[in-house]
Amino acid sequence: MDQTHLELLQTSVYTKLLAQEVQNGMNASQGKSPEEAPDPGRWLDDHGDYLFKYAVFRLRDNTAAEDAVQETFLAALKAYQQFEGRGSERTWLVGILKHKIVDHFRRVVREAPLGEESDEGPEHREFFERPEPWQGHWNTNYAPNEWHATPAELIERNDFWKVFDDCLSPLPQRTASAFTLREVDGLKSEEICEILSIKVNNLWVMLHRARLHLRNCLELNWFRSEE
Amino acid sequence: MAVKLYDKLKHSIRYRLLRTLPTCQQTVEKISQSMERPLTLRERINLKLHLWICAWCQWYMEHLHIIRETARAKANEPPDFVSGAGLSNEARERIRRRLTNQN
């Protein structure tokens, strides 16, 4: 068989495969269409734990996370026709959950409007208290030290995430939410400002205070006690 | 002799810089902002010079990046590896009841 024949043959095989795939895809989407009832009980068994962990890591509140998971399943039942079997079921559910989490943040901040400056988080001036002429430079009691850990190692340590969680909890709700949306989910500034109804300058102050606080807290409660 | 002179010079440059540059308190705020927006040329020069003479702020910046990288890696963790407790039995049953009522 010469080269052209081979290529021709391959092309026709590909075309057949492609046609088959399209057919399968259509069957799958037909299979998921309204005739077949969705099975929320199975969703709960298959994805409940994962969705809960996903939510609790971001909301840091068991009840709020449980609510978000329940709302996700309820919304999924309503929107089932739109799913049509494209992509994985879990990805679809996580997509809904993300919206529910953002809704939760929105609700919380609506109930607590930004007032005092201290609402943005602790300033930690004591970190930089020093006698002149060094006022404003690191006080040696709080100055950063070297960390002996990489993200790859940290991610595996469950006790690290416990400390991480505890360190975020004293922060005002809105500041902690801003931190999570930015550093965990990597949302853009404009999106976060819109969700939390704040100006970009407020956001920068909040992120700065959250980082200042969290870094110190992690160093004290994790990195130093690890040595 | 030459070495001694060099050390003296270095020390005095460092001292001068620390006295004239923004303080650590101002610098850590810029470090945080550098993760949010492009700094102006002046801010960048001041930050570079400050980091050149201040190990504490160097570490501070490194730590902020470790925290960000770790948190984002955690957020994208493959489902099978996600640790921590799942739904409590009570919550699971409550959600199950709610879902069956819905049907």
| Domain co-membership, A56 together with A130 | no
Nearest to B35 by CA among A211, A215, A121: A211
Q: How does the average pLDDT of chain B come out, rounded?
A: 87
Residue B96 lies in a domain: no
Question: What is the Rg, in whole angstroms, of the alpha carbon atoms belonging to chain A?
Answer: 25
Q: Rounded to 5 degrees, what angle do the CA atoms A62, A67, A70 make?
A: 125
Listed in sequence order, the residues at least 6 apart from A29 whose beta carbon sits closer than 8 Å to its beta carbon are: A84, A85, A86
- Number of domains chain A is built from: 2
* A49: chain B residues, CB-CB within 8 Å: 86-87
B48 within a domain of the structure (yes/no): yes
Half-sphere exposure of A26 (CA within 13 A, CB side): 6
Contact A34, A48 (CB under 8 A): no
**Complex ipTM:** 0.85
Chain B nearest CA to A25, separation (Å): 25
Q: Are residues A134 and A222 in the same domain?
A: yes
CATH number at residue A94: 1.10.1740.10
Alpha carbons B83 and A157: distance in angstroms, whole number? 9
Same domain? A49 vs A134: no
- Report yes or no: A94 at the B interface, CB cutoff 8 Å: no
**Out of A48, A161, A208, whose CB is closest to B32?**
A208
Q: Are residues A222 and A156 in the same domain?
A: yes
Clarify whether residues A98 and A146 are in a common domain: no
Helices and strands, number each (H, E), in chain A: 11, 0
Asked, for residue A21, whether it belongs to a domain, the answer is no
Q: Is residue B43 part of a domain?
A: yes
pLDDT per residue rounded down to tens, chain A (227 residues): 455 555 554 544 444 444 444 444 444 444 444 446 677 788 888 888 889 989 988 998 899 999 999 999 998 888 777 766 667 888 888 889 999 999 999 988 888 766 665 578 899 999 999 988 889 999 999 999 999 889 989 988 888 988 999 999 999 989 999 999 999 999 999 999 999 999 999 999 999 999 999 999 999 999 887 65
Per the structure block, which two tokens stand in for A210? 């959250």
Of A125, A144, A158, nearest to B83 by CB-CB distance is A158
Asked whether residue B13 is domain-assigned, the answer is yes
Instruction: Examine the domain organization and report whether A47 and A103 are in the same domain.
Output: yes
Q: Does A193 touch chain B (CB under 8 A)?
A: no
Q: Would you give the distance in Å from CA A203 to the centre of its chain?
A: 18
Residues A135, B75: C-beta atoms closer than 8 Å: no
State the nearest Cα–Cα gap between B3 and chain A, in angstroms: 28
Domain contains A178: yes
Interchain contact, A215 vs B73, CB within 8 Å: no
**Residue B22 lies inside a defined structural domain of this protein:** yes
Smallest CA–CA separation between A225 and chain B, in Å? 17
Q: Which of B23, B69, B83 has the CB atom closest to A151's CB atom? A: B69
Domain total of chain B: 1
User: Which residue type is seen at A63?
Assistant: T
Give the model confidence (pLDDT) of B47-94 as tens digits: 999 999 899 999 999 999 999 999 999 888 765 555 667 888 888 888
A53, A66, A186: residue with CB nearest B72: A186
Residues of B in contact with A88 (CB under 8 A): none
Give the separation between CA A7 and CA B99, rounded to whole angstroms. 54
* Structural domain contains residue B95: no
Residues A215 and A153 in one domain: yes
- CATH classification of the domain holding A156: 1.10.10.10
Same domain, A76 and A138: no
Determine, yes or no, domain membership for A81. Answer: yes
**Under 8 Å CB-to-CB from A28, ≥6 apart: which residues?**
A85
Domain containing residue A210? 118-226
